[in-house]
């Protein structure tokens, strides 16, 4: 995940600060030097880093820190506040037109992930009550139109295309009439990109903009491109006056600096973040939540939202009731696993949990394949064994289950232990959703 290295370095710095009962100016200066180096190594724009460190330092040597009983915590709070301000303070939404359809023009370099983001955005808006239409205006890249049609089909969002012989501006204009006839209230236009910025690409985008007068021009920025992302954002903004940014590939092993730089450099809000390969892996961008993730403080609100979107409320309530009555079975455990899998990558979920030591987690490999092995072992149990786990104290039963699932008896023993841990985790998960401030739990997988 992006920011992993930056988060680790910041946490090390904050750990030193929290270990001191009092702080002086030298302590703050030393800490800010470490924070500055961490940000620069993460590829954050130099001017952005300079301004951020100056703002933090001015506040950190004031009375609110020096006279505090918990000075280390106060410095961390200041860093968090300034990071939120850097990322935009308030969440920015799509500016929907009062007279549909709302026209959203997606722009960016080739390889930034525009076509996939178009599908993700379409599905996201459909879930939020809109009736979107995807428009194929990339007539140059081989199979670009077909790719958008495939993505649209998976997202269950219609696609408007006129082939690769038509002019992109004509396609965009024609799509508006199509949208009005078919009652599509949002039009998402997937434009062509290039490997680098050139006059021909910009001229075409300016032409499309002039023809359809978009309500939003969203720039897809590859989070893994580092400093180049800032230059790309400045170039597109100067020519098109973009209205917002979508950060793509935030799930990659990138240094993450682009995410912390583009908003400060362009002054344009980050509206969405693409955080995975699935079509559901797109999130509205929350500056406060992203700052919390960068600082290693977790993101409970996003975790809760994922749970609410993915976990069937009735099933969750039934599991909760069973646990209260001490009637939790292996069938329930299997159902629990399948519900959690719907929320996304287990590793990504761990990053949202506050209180987890990310450096300690670094050597813990949470293999998604292990969950398949667990499923095979549970399904090799008899109905009676799944309903009455106490029967599995028998060694002969465990051997039979291992043979039936193609695993070893040690694997079966491990699953039984995981089952016991699963009961504890579900109780803690329930506690998190009811009272986020108390939320810490351990994954059993």
Residue 131 pLDDT > 70? yes
Nearest to 81 by CA among 291, 394, 224, 321: 291
pLDDT tens per residue, range 62-111? 766 656 657 778 888 888 889 889 888 778 889 999 999 999 999 999 98
Using the predicted structure, report yes or no on whether residue 356 has a pLDDT greater than 60: no
Sign of the C-alpha dihedral, residues 166, 167, 169, 170? negative
Angle at 138 between CA 218 and CA 103, to 5 degrees: 40
**Confidence (pLDDT) at 299:** 43
Regarding predicted confidence, which is higher, 178 or 346? 178
Q: What is the pTM of this model?
A: 0.69
What is the distance between the alpha carbons of residues 111 and 131, in angstroms, rounded to a whole number?
27
Which CATH class, in words, describes the domain spanning 302-438? mainly alpha
Take residue 78 and report the two structure tokens written for it: 């200041």
Where exactly are the structural domains of the chain? Answer: 4-87, 102-296, 302-438
- The percent of residues above 70 in pLDDT, for the chain, comes to 76
pLDDT tens, residue by residue, 267-303: 999 999 998 888 988 989 888 888 877 877 654 444 4
- CA 365 – CA 74 distance, rounded (Å): 34
Identify the residue whose tokens are 């030097």.
33
Q: Which of 43-52, 59-68, 219-228 has the lowest average pLDDT? A: 59-68
Q: What is the mean pLDDT of the chain?
A: 80
Nearest to 82 by CA among 9, 2, 10, 5: 10
Q: For domain 4-87, is the CATH number 1.20.120.140?
A: yes
> Can you name the residues that pair with 186 across neighbouring β-strands?
102, 132
pLDDT digits (tens, 9 = 90+) for 361-373: 444 444 556 777 8
User: According to the CATH classification, is domain 102-296 in 3.40.50.300?
Assistant: yes
Q: What is the mean pLDDT of residues 422-434?
A: 57
Residues whose CB is less than 8 angstroms from the CB of residue 363 and which lie 6 or more positions away in sequence, other chains included: none
User: Who wins on pLDDT, 38 or 338?
Assistant: 38
pLDDT at 23: 77
The phi and psi torsions of 434 (rounded to 5 degrees) equal: -80, -35
Are 131 and 186 a contacting pair, CB within 8 Å? yes
CA proximity to 423, closest of 315, 341, 349, 333: 333
**Is the preceding peptide bond at 101 cis, omega within 30 degrees of 0?**
yes
Per-residue confidence band for 228, with pLDDT thresholds at 50, 70 and 90? confident
């Amino acid at each position: 995940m992006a920011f992993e290295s930056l988060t680790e370095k910041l946490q090390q710095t904050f750990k030193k600060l929290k270990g001191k009962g009092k702080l002086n100016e030298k302590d703050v200066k030393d800490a800010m030097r470490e924070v500055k180096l961490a940000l620069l190594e993460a590829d954050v724009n130099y001017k952005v880093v300079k301004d951020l460190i100056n703002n933090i330092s001015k506040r950190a040597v004031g009375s609110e820190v020096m006279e505090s009983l918990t000075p280390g915590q106060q410095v961390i709070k200041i860093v968090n506040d300034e990071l939120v301000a850097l990322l935009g303070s308030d969440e920015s939404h799509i500016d929907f037109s009062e007279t549909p359809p709302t026209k959203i023009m997606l722009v960016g370099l080739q390889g930034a992930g525009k076509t996939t983001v178009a599908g993700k955005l379409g599905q996201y808006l459909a879930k939020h009550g809109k009736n979107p239409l995807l428009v194929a205006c990339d007539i140059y890249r081989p199979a670009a139109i077909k790719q958008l049609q495939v993505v649209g089909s998976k997202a269950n969002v219609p696609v408007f295309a006129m082939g690769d012989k038509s002019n992109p501006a004509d396609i965009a204009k024609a799509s508006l009439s199509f949208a009005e006839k078919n009652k599509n209230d949002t039009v998402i236009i997937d434009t062509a990109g290039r490997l680098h910025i050139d006059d021909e690409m910009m001229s075409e985008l300016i032409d499309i903009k002039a023809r359809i007068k978009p309500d939003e021009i969203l720039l897809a920025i590859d989070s893994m491109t580092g400093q180049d992302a800032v230059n790309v954002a400045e170039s597109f903004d100067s020519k098109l006056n973009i209205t917002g940014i979508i950060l793509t590939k935030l799930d990659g092993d990138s240094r993450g600096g682009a995410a912390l730089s583009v908003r400060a450099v362009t002054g344009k809000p980050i509206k969405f973040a693409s955080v995975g390969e699935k079509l559901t892996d797109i999130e509205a961008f929350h500056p406060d939540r992203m700052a919390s993730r960068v600082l290693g403080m977790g993101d409970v609100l996003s975790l809760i939202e994922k749970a609410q979107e993915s976990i069937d409320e009735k099933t969750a309530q039934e599991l909760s009731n069973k646990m209260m009555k001490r009637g939790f079975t292996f069938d329930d455990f299997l159902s629990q696993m399948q519900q959690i899998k719907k929320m996304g990558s287990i590793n990504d979920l761990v990053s949202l949990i506050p209180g987890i030591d990310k450096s300690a987690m670094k050597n813990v490999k949470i293999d998604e394949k292990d969950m398949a092995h667990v499923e095979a072992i549970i399904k090799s149990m008899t109905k009676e064994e799944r309903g009455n786990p106490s029967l599995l104290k028998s060694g002969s039963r465990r051997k039979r289950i291992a043979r039936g699932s193609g695993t070893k008896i040690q694997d079966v023993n491990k699953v039984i232990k995981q089952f016991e841990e699963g009961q504890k985790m579900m109780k803690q998960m329930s506690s998190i959703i009811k009272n986020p401030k108390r939320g810490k739990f351990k994954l059993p997988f």
